């Protein structure tokens, strides 16, 4: 889960920087700057939470089973985006299928697996 959080954070920071960058381009919109800053900020918060979680001793990897579906929602409830259309996904859109979290986008009806290698 930690790797996923880091990847998600990296994507957020990457797009955040792109937004800020794009705001200064000729066809850019200054309103992109706060969007970029928020995106980068959320990315850093995710990294902070992910690294903080690592420092908690006595938390066995097996305990991840209890959080299953909730975890992607908790980590990125406001930031989870559809890979196809970019629509914001809520935890209700995530279903456990054969032990893997599968996202069904309510906007474009795309169904895909949330993670390549689920830990639970």
Q: Which residues bind Zn ion (CB under 5 A)?
A: 82, 84-85, 87, 105, 107-108, 110
Name which of 68 and 110 has its Cβ closer to Zn ion: 110
Q: How far is the CB of 105 from Zn ion (least distance, A)?
A: 3
Take residue 109 and report the two structure tokens written for it: 């009806």
CA separation for the pair 48, 113 (Å, rounded): 25
Residue 104 parent element (H or E): strand 100-104
Of the two residues 96 and 108, which places its CB atom closer to Zn ion in the complex? Answer: 108
**At closest approach, how far in Å is the CB of 93 from Zn ion?**
9
Cβ–Cβ contacts within 10 Å for residue 8, how many? 21
- Min dist CB 109 to Zn ion, Å, is 7
Query: In terms of Cα–Cα distance, which of 67, 112, 119 is closest to 89?
Result: 112
In this complex, which beta carbon is closest to Zn ion, that of residue 34 or of residue 86? 86
Residue 114: CB minimum distance to Zn ion, A: 13
Coil, strand or helix at 105 = coil
In 3D space, the residue among 47, 46, 38 whose CA is nearest the CA of residue 17 turns out to be 38
Return the structure tokens found at 56. Answer: 């908690």
Of the pair 3, 108, the CB lying nearest Zn ion is at: 108
């Amino acid at each position: 889960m930690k790797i996923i959080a880091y990847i998600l954070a990296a994507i957020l920071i990457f797009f955040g920087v792109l937004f800020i960058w794009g705001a200064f381009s000729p066809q850019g919109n200054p309103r992109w700057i706060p969007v970029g800053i928020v995106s980068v900020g959320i990315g850093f918060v995710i990294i902070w939470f992910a690294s903080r979680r690592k420092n908690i001793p006595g938390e066995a990897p097996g305990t991840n089973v209890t959080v299953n579906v909730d975890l992607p929602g908790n980590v990125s409830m406001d930031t989870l985006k559809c890979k196809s259309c970019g629509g914001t996904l809520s935890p209700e859109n995530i279903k456990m299928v054969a032990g893997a979290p599968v996202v069904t986008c309510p906007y474009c009806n795309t169904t895909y697996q949330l993670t390549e290698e689920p830990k639970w």
